[in-house]
Chains A and B, each alone.
Chain A
Amino acid sequence: MEKSQSEIRIILVGIAKNPLGFMGLVIVGAIVFSAIFAAWVVPYDPIEMNIRDRMQGPSWSHLLGTDQLGRDTFSRVITGGQVALKVALPAVFGAMAIGLTLGMVAGYGPKWLDNFLMLLFDTIRSFPTVMFALAVVALVGPSLQTVVLVVMATSIPTYGRVARTQTLTLRNSEFILAERSMGASMARILGVHMLPNIIGVLAVLAAMDIPTVIALEAGLSFLGLGVKPPTPSWGALLKDGYALVRQTPWLVIGGGLPIIIATLGFTFLGESLRDVVDPKLRKNQ
């Protein structure tokens, strides 16, 4: 345990040394912090209506103004970040865990299992994500869980394919043969020796995937298929703002800016994570 903690420290320090990585770390840190402590950070209740103060521009009392029902946009943006992370993190990490497991099994296991899993992955991938989401939402109704599940199901093949390719390359490498000739079981080879070789690539993929998922959630909410009102979400903010863009630009800005910032932050983090996870590319610590 102590060992892996120092590993995490090495990675964090490595990211922070890179200027882009540092920015990514700050942005993601800020988003995560504001999402966790949303209840304390927000100046107003994000769903409390105040008709007298509706459609205001930015002021000291309302940093990003208010919407058509007088709700504080800044508070809704912060709470919307919480919703975005609630969708993105479980969806991405769930997809990564399942995709990694299936991909490694496909790459290392018998050929028929590989064929079956590949067929499954290709089938899932052949559905356009948004269409698939529309169909599922139409069947079970819009909710946060539905969005998470749809996003997870559609991104499993991406992780699965990468994990499989990595496993296939590794399985014939000499060090894996060396492990086998030293009596390592299949579980040991996959868990102890292959996993650390693959996880870095997938972590980078996941970090780059989080903004995609955030945008997807926003998109679904924009279409009215995501979270139900009055729960604030960045996509829902955009949708309201889009309707009222002639009256005030601040709702569109409040909904769009965080999506852009979050996308940049996670992408920076992913990019610099890629340079750090490989011990060979690490600068001398």
Chain B
Amino acid sequence: MTDVLLEIDNLSVDYETARGDLKALRNISFDVRKAEIVGIVGESGCGKSTLISSILRLIAPNTRFRSGEIRFEGSDLLKATEREMRALRGDEISIVFQDPMQTHNPVLSVGQQMVDIQHRSKAPKGEKRENAAKMLAAVGIPDPEARLDQFPHEFSGGMRQRIAIAMALMSEPNLLIADEPTTALDATLEVQIIERLQELQREMDCAILFISHHLGVIAELCDRVVVMYAGAVVESGDIRKIFHDPKHPYTRRLIECDPGHIKTRARILPTIPGEVPDLANIPDGCIFRDRCNQATERCLSQVPPLESVGEEHMAACWLNHEEVTA
């Protein structure tokens, strides 16, 4: 077995609401190995953000962990004390958020913030400042020494996101969570950020959990991918296998709908008809059955388990079973 860094095992998370429990995550299992990049894809509201906040344990007060474990380097984060969690955050596990215009303190200079983030280090302030400048240079900010004295609003969106990455990587974390870090940026910047992330990942040897709904970016960057739908994992595995031979109809449709895959000029862009089921009131059977054009009798009543459909490839769909039996 290779070195597993983060192991999510049968995790179920509910939100308690006035309408009853909202089953935000159901029986999620996947792992992230050391120094690999894992992508998580799924449409809005499929539980990606709940998953991240669960890993960091920065959860809304109405969150309830119903079952499962989140093991980081072997220890269960759901059982860790708040003090232990705080020691992990920003040291072993770092995060880059989606919107770079919001993630910096508007009234502190970038230098002040980057020095403050090294609060665990006992090094003198001058040295911390040097570290900050080095890190800014590493993410490609020109003239870092001078720019440390500038405020966040004096930087462009792309630069701010690079600063956010610099801050997240300051402590040389083992796991970097990137929560749609390029969604708020335009396409050219997206490529720059992705390339920079790749370079830094190789240099620092850290694992990255990359959340996105942009399949092109995932294909470019990740080693493995987890496809989520309505709070459950529908398919996971090696990036090439999933893109070339998807074993779940949802993944297939997702790839078809990706603008990068549409070769001919179309008047109507392809979409997946239907809506995500109500998470407070989950119907029996497969969660994707209402939107699936291949659904059978069995899909209406029985939930398909997430099972191996090949080496480094798992999927949760009855269609794969029929192929085997037929």
Contact = CB atoms under 8 A, between A and B. Distances in A.
B89 A197 contact: no
Interface in A204-260: none
A173 interface: yes
Q: DSSP class of B's interface residues: helix, strand, loop or mixed? A: loop
Most buried by B among A173, A177, A188: A177
A210 B23 CA distance: 55
Size category, B interface = 20 to 34
Given A174-B99, A178-B95, A280-B153, A196 B105 contact: yes
B90 interface: yes
B90 A175 contact: no
Contact of A193 (B56, B58, B108, B168): B108
A169 interface: no
B79 to A, nearest CB: 18
Interface in B120-157: 120, 151, 153
A280 to B, nearest CB: 5
Contacts of B89: 180-183
A128 interface: no
Nearest to B179: A181
Size category, A interface = 20 to 34
Q: DSSP class of A's interface residues: helix, strand, loop or mixed? A: helix
Contacts of B94: 181-182
Nearest to A188: B119
B36 interface: no
A91 to B, nearest CB: 27
Nearest to A197: B107
Q: Which 10 A-B pairs have the closest CB atoms?
A: A182-B90, A183-B90, A183-B89, A174-B102, A196-B107, A178-B103, A181-B95, A279-B151, A183-B86, A175-B105
Interface of B: 56, 58, 86-91, 94-95, 97, 99, 102-108, 112, 116-117, 119-120, 151, 153, 164, 167-168
Interface of A: 3, 173-175, 177-185, 188, 192-193, 196-197, 200, 278-280
